C-alpha cells in the first residue's frame, strides 16, 4: 500500500481500518453527529480530513470507552462546544477545536480512571506489608 503524506485526505475504508470501526458505523455516525462532515466527491465517495478523523476518534472514545449512548455523546459534544465559548462561525475550524477539547476531556477521564486503579493497587500492596 502506498504511504500517504501526513494530512492527506483518507477514504472511508482507510479510516475504518485506522479506527477499527466498520465503514457502515462511520456512515451512521455521520448521520447522527451533524458536526461530522467529510468531503464528498462524485458518486458520494467520502474523504476524511485530519480534523474529521480526530472527531471520529473522540466519538468512538465517548461511545466505546466512556459508555455514552448516541444521545449522550451528542449532548456531550454540544456541551463541549458551548463550554468553549462562543460558537465558531467558520465550519472548517469547528471540528478541529471540538476535537481538541473532546480528546483532552477523554484523556483526562482516562487518566482519572488509571489513577483510581493505581490507588487501589497501592492500598492493596500496603495492606500486604502491614501484615
- Residue 2 in any domain: the answer is no
Instruction: Report the DSSP beta bridge partners of residue 47.
Output: 11, 39
Residue that wins the pLDDT comparison between 111 and 75: 75
Residue 46 pairs in a beta bridge with 40
Q: Determine if the pTM surpasses 0.85.
A: no
Question: Number of structural domains, the chain?
Answer: 1
**In-domain check, residue 107:** yes
The CATH number of whichever domain residue 22 belongs to comes to: 1.10.1660.10
Classify residue 3: in a domain, yes or no: no
- The domain containing residue 106 runs over which residues? 10-130
1 within some domain = no
Whether 4 is covered by a domain: the verdict is no
Q: Is 5 a member of any domain?
A: no
Whole-number Å distance between alpha carbons of 34 and 58: 14
Q: When comparing pLDDT for 107 and 64, which is higher?
A: 64
Tens digits of per-residue pLDDT, 32-53?
998 899 999 888 899 999 989 9
pLDDT band at 111 (very low <50, low <70, confident <90, very high): confident
Amino acid at each position: 500500500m502506498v504511504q500517504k503524506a501526513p494530512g492527506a485526505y483518507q477514504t472511508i475504508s482507510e479510516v475504518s481500518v485506522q479506527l477499527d470501526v466498520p465503514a457502515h458505523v462511520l456512515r451512521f455516525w455521520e448521520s447522527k453527529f451533524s458536526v461530522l462532515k467529510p468531503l464528498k466527491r462524485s458518486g458520494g465517495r467520502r474523504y476524511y480530513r485530519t480534523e474529521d478523523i480526530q472527531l471520529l476518534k473522540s466519538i468512538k472514545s465517548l461511545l466505546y470507552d466512556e459508555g455514552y449512548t448516541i444521545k449522550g455523546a451528542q449532548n456531550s459534544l454540544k456541551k463541549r462546544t458551548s463550554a468553549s465559548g462562543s460558537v465558531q462561525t467558520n465550519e472548517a475550524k469547528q471540528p478541529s477545536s471540538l476535537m481538541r477539547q473532546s480528546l483532552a476531556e477523554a484523556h483526562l477521564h482516562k487518566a482519572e480512571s488509571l489513577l483510581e486503579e493505581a490507588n487501589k493497587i497501592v492500598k492493596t500492596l500496603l495492606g500486604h506489608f502491614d501484615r
